[in-house]
Chain A
C-alpha cells in the first residue's frame, strides 16, 4: 500500500471505530438525563406523599442516591469525548502547534492512566462489596445497581478520552452526528 493510501486508510478506520463509541457515549448521556428526571420525580413524589398523606416515601434516599450516581457517571464518557472538562489554556495557547499536539497526547495519556486506575481499583472494591452482600440501607437494593453505572461510566470514558485525542473535541462530536 502506498504511503498516501495508508495515511487515508488510518483516519477512515479511526472514523469507523469512533462512530459506535461516540454513539454509545451519547446514549449513555441520555441515560444520565433519564436518571436525573427519575431523581427529580422521586423527590417530587416524596414532597407530595409527605404533604398529602403525612408519610414520607419509603427509601427516597436510596433512590435519589442511585439517580445521583447514574446522572453523573453515565455522563462521564460524553464529557471525555467532547473534552468538556475544566482546563486552563492560557499557557499552552502560546505554544507552537506541534508542541500543543504533543501536550494533548500527554493529557490523553494522563486521563487514560487515571481512569484505568479508577476502573481497576473500583472493580476490586465492587467485588469485595458484592462478596459481603452489601445492599442499600432502606430498600435493600443490590449494591451492583449503584456500582455498575460508576464502573460503566469510567470504563467507557477510556475509549472516549482516546477518541477526543484522535479527532479533537469538535471533530469527535461531528463524527458522531455524521
Chain B
C-alpha cells in the first residue's frame, strides 16, 4: 500500500521533470516490482507484460481511427464542416464561436482525438474569428473546448483504451458517449452565449438564405456519408469496431484523393503522423502495463476496496472523490496517461461498488475532457498556443472558465441522470 503511494508520487515527480509519461510509469513500475517481488519476478514481468500489452489484434482499432482522423484533416474535410456550421449559426451573437463548437462536434465524429480536433478546427476557425474581430480569449477557448468533443463523440481513442483495459464492449462505450457528447456541445454553446453576454461581444454575420445554407450542406455530403458508414455500420452489426475503423480509415484516404489532396508527400506524411501517434499511445500502454503490474503486486486495489466497504462509503461520495482526484491529475498530465496510470487501481473499486462500468467510462472520459482544458497543463490549450501565431497561454486560459463550468454542469447531469449514458447502449446492444 505504502509502496504504491510512493510509486504514484514518484511517477508524478518524474513527469514534472519532463520524463516522458511512458518512461516514468515504466521505470517506477520496474523499480517497484524489483522492490516488492525481487529480481526474478521483475525479469518475468518486463519480458512478458510489455509485449502482451501491445500484441493484441483488437488494438488495431487505435491506429486505424487515428489514420481516419489524420486523413480527414489533411483532406480538407474540416473546412467544409466549419463553413456548413457557420452558415447555420454565423448570424447569431458569437456565431463563429458557436460554429466552431458545432464543427468540432461534427469533426469529432470522424476523429477520435481531442488534440487533433482542436488543432484541425483551430487552423480553420481561428483566422476567421480573428478577422471578424472576436477576442482571442473567446475564440481560442471555443476551439480548445470544442476539441474535447472529439473524445466523447464516437469514435474515441480514450473509449477504445478504456474498453481494452477494462474488458468492456467498445461498441457500447461509443454508443454511451453519443448523448453526453451532444449535451456537451449544447453546454459549450451556452458557454459561448455566457461569454458574449459578459462583454466579449462578437460580430454578427449576415443571415444566409436557406438556399445558401443547403448549398454548404451539399459540400459536406462526403463527410456525412463516411460518418454514417462507420457509425451505422458498427451499430447495425455490419462491422465490428475494428472493421469500422478500417472502413473509416480507407474512406478518409479515399476522400482525400477525391478532393485532389492526395499527393505522394501527403500520403507519406499522413502515414508517418499516424504511426508516430500510434507509437506514442502504445509506449504509454507499455509503461502502464509495467506500472499496473507493480500496483497489482502491492495489493492496493484490495486494500482500497476493503477500506471503502469498512467505511460503508456511499458510491456517490467515492465518485465525487474520484472526480476531484482526476481533475487534480488532469491539471498535471494528459488524459490518456491519467486514465492508464490509475485505472488498474480504480476500476476494481468501481466494480466492487456495483457501478456500471460503461457509465463510469463516460464519467471518466468527461473528467479527462475537463483535464484537457484545465490550466496549467490542459493539452488542448498547449496545442492551440503552439499552432496559432501570437496566442499566449494566459489568453487561452482566461477564456476557458465558462467552458470548464459547462463541463462541471455536464458531470452533475451525468450523476443525476445516469441513463443519459446507458440508455443508447442498452437500446442498441440489449
Contacts and interface: CB of A to CB of B under 8 A. Distances in A.
Given A33-B274, A85-B23, A87-B18, A47 B239 contact: yes
Given A72-B282, A121-B46, A33 B27 contact: no
Interface in B261-282: 268, 271-272, 274-276, 278-280, 282
Contact of A30 (B15, B19, B272, B280): B272
Given A36-B67, A76-B283, A106-B17, A124 B278 contact: no
Contacts of B42: 121
A70 B64 CA distance: 14
Given A47-B243, A85-B21, A29 B275 contact: yes
Contacts of A114: 23, 26-27, 30
A107 B19 contact: yes
A33 B283 contact: no
Nearest to B376: A90
* Chain B contact residues, majority secondary structure: helix
A35 to B, nearest CB: 8
Interface in A39-62: 39-40, 43-44, 46-47, 61
A65 B16 CA distance: 35
B275 A32 contact: yes
B315 interface: no
A46 B243 CA distance: 9
Nearest to B67: A36
Contacts of B271: 30, 33, 36-37
Interface stretch (B51-59, B91-99, B343-351, B404-412): B51-59
Could you say which interface size class chain B belongs to? 35 or more
A174 interface: no
A89 B280 CA distance: 17
A39 B63 CA distance: 10
Contact of B60 (A29, A64, A122): A64
Among B20, B274, B279, B282, the one with the most A-chain Cβ atoms within 10 Å of its Cβ is B279
B284 interface: yes
Interface residues of A, number: 54
**Chain A CB within 10 Å, residue with most, of B27, B46, B47, B250:** B47
Contacts of A92: 16-18
B239 A64 contact: no
Nearest to A63: B57
B276 A40 contact: no
A92 B42 CA distance: 31
Given A61-B57, A72-B54, A118-B46, A78 B279 contact: yes
A79 B283 contact: yes
Contacts of B286: 118
Interface string B9-25: 00000111111111110
Given A64-B242, A91-B18, A122 B47 contact: yes
A46 B239 CA distance: 11
Interface of B: 14-24, 26-27, 30, 42-44, 46-48, 50-51, 54-57, 59-60, 63-64, 67, 239, 242-243, 246-247, 249-250, 268, 271-272, 274-276, 278-280, 282-284, 286, 332-334, 336-337, 376-377
What are the nearest 3 A-B pairs in CB distance?
Answer: A125-B47, A85-B20, A33-B271
Interface of A: 29-30, 32-33, 36-37, 39-40, 43-44, 46-47, 61, 64-65, 67-69, 71-76, 78-79, 82, 84-92, 103-104, 106-107, 110-111, 113-114, 117-118, 121-122, 124-125, 128, 146-147, 150
